[in-house]
Amino acid sequence: MAKLRIVHYINQFFAQIGGEEMADYKPELREGCIGPGLAFNQAFGEDAEIVATVICGDSYFNENLDEAKATVLEMIKSQNPDLFIAGPAFNAGRYGVACGTITAAVKSELGIPCLTAMYEENPGADMFKNQVYIVPTKNSAVGMRDAVKKMVPLALKLAHGEEIGASCVEHYMPNGIRKNFFEKKRGSARAVDMLLAKMAGKPFTTEFPMPDFDRVTPNPAVKDMAHATIALVTSGGIVPKGNPDHIESSSASKYGEYDLEGVMDLTADTYETAHGGYDPVYANQDADRVLPVDVMRDLEREGVIGKLHRYFYTTVGNGTAVKNAKRYASEFAQELLKANVNAVILTST
């Protein structure tokens, strides 16, 4: 029996072409497997093999969506594959959106079995999990082995046209489609087992997970703004020119703290944005559009506020995990408290 033919889609980073500086890399078709494709080929064994790899830079794909999608689809179609795999993208936002977009296009326009994989907080997950099979992964490429292990069995079932079971069985993200199956125990018995495990502090898995929303009680309004210290915080990626701390344009692993002492205005010569999720032109022309230092200085001079806090804190919200964002805020919030800051203005894009 001949091996199944697979085409694999990856970005410029996993193709080992380069990082952000090569994100404008145009679509390219290469014979055989590259990067993570080696792990897939090993896991598929004698059942399937990656015959070609399509590479495209994250920025190029997302900024030239129609053209890039059409080009990539033609490359995939030319290989006459039995299966298409994209990623895994982990928590790289633009990569996740690209993987979701092309996988959905392969399904709808080429009718080829396909799947992708990414972190559950990747924006591509919410956009495409109800259209294509997406296997949840860990936050970074550290989870590659686990991702491949989960993707391969599902990929083979899709390629062979086998019935796909429930998401909890096949290890894909819930897609709104319910699958009926018989449990060994009746519902009441399972519920009691879960309750006893919970009471005993033992691990258990709920059959009806509820969304986990933060509930934050608003602080009382600032009564005396004329004597208040106000700080600026942004997820819009505004940084000093040259991005001295190398904050990533997506999936930021850090935040920056920068001094505003004597700064009355953010100019194109002194500040820019590191954010890769929106058109940077207007922010680079005048970073006050994202971080309004000029307006805050006006309010300070007019006596509307007491003063602008000396430091501002910044990171990139594009693809950044919620857990990381919470950690950043908990750290610099302590600094704001120590400085007796009365209120924070949080700006985004």
Three-point CA angle 239, 241, 245, nearest 5°: 55
Look at residues 170, 197, 215 and tell me which one is the last residue of a structural domain: 170
| Residues 347, 108: Cα–Cα separation, whole Å | 38
Element (H, E) at 160: none
Residues 151 and 30 in one domain: yes
* Residue whose structure tokens are 């970073």: 287
| Residues 133, 125: Cα–Cα separation, whole Å | 10
Number of domains in the chain: 2
Cβ neighbours of residue 142 under 8 Å, at least 6 residues apart? none
Residue whose C-alpha is closest to residue 258's, from 228, 289, 293: 293
CATH at 81: 3.40.50.2300
Look at residues 105, 136, 170 and tell me which one is the last residue of a structural domain: 170
- Give Cα 116 distance to the centre of its chain: 14
Residues 54 and 162 in one domain: yes
* Residue whose structure tokens are 């970005």: 11
Residue 105, domain member (yes or no): yes
Amino acid at 25: Y
Look at residues 136, 170, 204 and tell me which one is the last residue of a structural domain: 170
| Residues 29, 31: Cα–Cα separation, whole Å | 7
What's the pLDDT score for residue 68?
94
User: Please, how many CA atoms are within 13 Å of residue 4, restricted to the half-sphere of its CB?
Assistant: 24
Residues 151 and 261 in one domain: no
Parallel/antiparallel/unpaired status of strands 238-240 and 271-273: antiparallel
3-state helix, strand, coil in the chain (%, to 5): 35, 20, 45
Residue 185, domain member (yes or no): no
Residue 219, domain member (yes or no): no
What's the pLDDT score for residue 204?
86
Residue 180, domain member (yes or no): no
Q: Which tokens sit at 62?
A: 């997302």
Residue whose C-alpha is closest to residue 249's, from 55, 23, 26, 68: 23
Residue 205, domain member (yes or no): no
What's the pLDDT score for residue 211?
67
Task: Look at the alpha carbons of 276, 20, 286, 239 in this order and tell me if their dihedral is positive or negative.
Answer: positive
Amino acid at 286: D
Provide the H-helix boundaries in the chain: 37-44, 58-63, 65-78, 93-105, 123-128, 144-159, 167-170, 187-199, 281-285, 293-302, 322-338
182: left (phi over 0), alpha (psi -120 to 50) or beta: beta
256 exposure class (CB count in 10 Å sphere: 0-12, 13-18, 19+): buried
Residues 163 and 236 in one domain: no
CB neighbourhood size of 155 (10 A): 26
Amino acid at 189: A
Question: Which residue range forms the structural domain that includes residue 30?
Answer: 4-170
Are 37 and 84 a contacting pair, CB within 8 Å?
Answer: no
Amino acid at 173: M
Residues 18 and 125 in one domain: yes
Residues 287 and 140 in one domain: no
| Residues 213, 194: Cα–Cα separation, whole Å | 23
Amino acid at 103: T
Are 251 and 326 a contacting pair, CB within 8 Å?
Answer: no
Residue 143, domain member (yes or no): yes
Look up residue 250 and give its DSSP letter: S
Residue 186, domain member (yes or no): no
Residues 48 and 114 in one domain: yes
Q: Which pTM value belongs to this model? A: 0.64
Are 300 and 307 a contacting pair, CB within 8 Å?
Answer: yes
Residues 269 and 149 in one domain: no
10-residue mean pLDDT profile of the chain (349 residues): values are 91 91 93 94 93 94 92 96 95 90 96 95 86 92 92 95 86 79 85 93 82 79 95 96 90 90 95 90 95 97 96 88 84 95 93
Are 136 and 119 a contacting pair, CB within 8 Å?
Answer: yes
Residue 187, domain member (yes or no): no
Element (H, E) at 83: strand 83-86
